[in-house]
Structure 1
Amino acid sequence: MPKQDLKNKVIWITGASSGLGQALAEECALRGGQVILTARRIAELEKIKATLVHPEQHLCIGADITDESQVLHAYEQVLQSKGQIDWLINNAGLSQRALIADTTMQTERAIMEVDYFSQVFITKTVLPTFLKQKSGKIAFVSSVAGLLGTQYRASYSAAKAAIHMWANSLRAEVADQGVAVSVIFPGFIKTNVSINALNGEGKPQGHDNEATANGLTPEVFAKTVVNALLKDEEYIVVGGAKEKLGVLVSRLSPTTLYKMIRKMKVK
């Protein structure tokens, strides 16, 4: 029997209709949490909810997180249904696979809108509740790409780095008010992230890459993340040996890292 270490906790997860968000929802439900699943595809959310432990405890809310009015409405629904929020996991995101020279400004802005501005808005929406409760945990799913910056991922790396820095500032501001802030840096995980990644014209590239296909499973990712969040870890890197090495080198010798990245064969 899994530990019920999230019993009576309300956990709001964005981007919960597939991949990392789905895996996080499954893991949190397994540990007794009441999960709020949010994404644009309500039918997909309902299917996932039906597979969770104690499906009657959970709630699906369809919303486009780039639409502020939909986010506000979703927030009201969460409070009306549950009366509290304990964890907010900002997981919804959009990746990229295009060279800078081939990426339109519209695509640059679209990635920043999903991966940065929407996360900022939903967090600012929920923050007053956490401050009033004098408790709560806010987690952002950034990326190892947001620590390193590699070819074909410039806009994505920039957005993921931006949310990391914003989260650091938030943590410093609310640390003495009972609100915890964590940032999660996934490496290669077996999801549809590469298939859905935008090309330079802003359309999904439609195919996977070898590194993602050979990455960690979403289940391993979710278990690792929930364990780390329960231990109040603030800087959570989840990935294989290569990604962890890259993160280490980025902290010890940025110059060495830049040389390594120039030689990388990534797409």
Structure 2
Amino acid sequence: MCTTCHCGQSEPAVINAPSPSARRLELGAALLSRNDAVAASLRRRFTAAGLPVLNLLSSPGSGKTALLERLGRDWSGSGRLAAIVGDLATDNDARRLRAAGIEAVQITTGQACHLEAAMLEPALERFDLAALELLVIENVGNLVCPAAYDLGESLRLVLLSVTEGGDKPLKYPAMFHSADLVVINKIDLAAAVDFDRDHARRHIAKVAPAAPIVEVSARTGEGMAQLRDAITAGLAAPALA
């Protein structure tokens, strides 16, 4: 259970206190305000270093790490792509990325279901930011809480796997609405799982009408050239406010 945003946690009994819902709203606003201040500081730091930053979000098992492994192999200037990886436990994903030749630092969040801007600061000390071409933040697998937390990124990419079904954008609209780019992964399995592309694209367009949609297979490499082009175009757009 998340101990920082308090999602789903019961409210402790307090005598003569405001209602639990009011206290939860006040706490949430304070947390996001502090996070936004740190995120703004990080964004200035990234800008000073000339470093674009991609925040990669999705549910667990959608293929974030596999996508990064493929990007590490295919990205022009390979070896200058680095990653910060968030998980509740283990450093499995960071070890996978390092084995693929990507400099990676793992953040284990314990019970926290998302990364916050302040969590990135110690990890950033492990990199020579000026030497990197792209920094990717692989967020904790979760389609709820991470949507609310700015990490100072230049571009927010939300990943949807065909195995999840095409209705996820409607079920988790805040996450997809926050996306600058939506990627449909595991497209090589679309026929096997009876994935309806048009159905999924309509749902994405309903909640994220301005976000480009790219279909890829991290396993086969299908669509990766288009994804690189979309990332490059997105990074060339005006920075997030």
Give the structure-1-normalised TM-score: 0.42
| TM-score, normalised relative to structure 2 | 0.45
Structure showing greater relative contact order (alpha-carbon pairs closer than 8 Å, 6 or more residues apart): 2
